[in-house]
Amino acid sequence: MRTCRESGFTLVELSVVVLIIGILVAIAVPVFTHAKDDAQRKACFSNERAVESAYSAYISASEVQTPVTNWNELMAVTIPTLLSSQPACPSDGVYTWSDGSVRCSIHGNYHDPP
């Protein structure tokens, strides 16, 4: 009597494949998460530079004697003429303005050492 073995994968083979995929996912997820966080930090710093540049341009063009002291006042003078919209941190941080520089509640300031 002849028996015919059905073709297919054994339980051991499927378990090995699932284990390999699990290891690859365990390696890939932290790498992608770090890349996302790094991109958000760089976008935040770019926003900070744009606001500081816009404020410098505003000071140069208007020759204002009294400096801007808070974020809302800064946005009121720069958005109508120098910025198209109010910048927002991609990580939902809050921007503040003090001593002529922008600081994010999550990422800090691009001038700060890493």
Find out whether 111 and 101 touch, Cβ atoms under 8 Å. yes
85: closest CA among 33, 61, 50, 44? 50
- Is the predicted pLDDT of residue 106 greater than 70, yes or no? yes
pLDDT of the residue at 3? 61
Distances (CA, A) of 80 to 38, 39, 52, 61, 98: 31, 28, 15, 14, 21
Contacts of 96 (CB under 8 A, 6+ apart): 70, 71, 102, 103, 105
- Is the predicted pLDDT of residue 4 greater than 70, yes or no? no
**pLDDT confidence band for 5 (50 / 70 / 90):** low
- Model-level pTM? 0.74
User: Stretch 79-105: mean pLDDT, rounded?
Assistant: 91
User: What is d(CA 93, CA 32) in angstroms, rounded to the nearest whole number?
Assistant: 21
pLDDT mean across residues, the chain: 88
- Is the predicted pLDDT of residue 1 greater than 70, yes or no? no
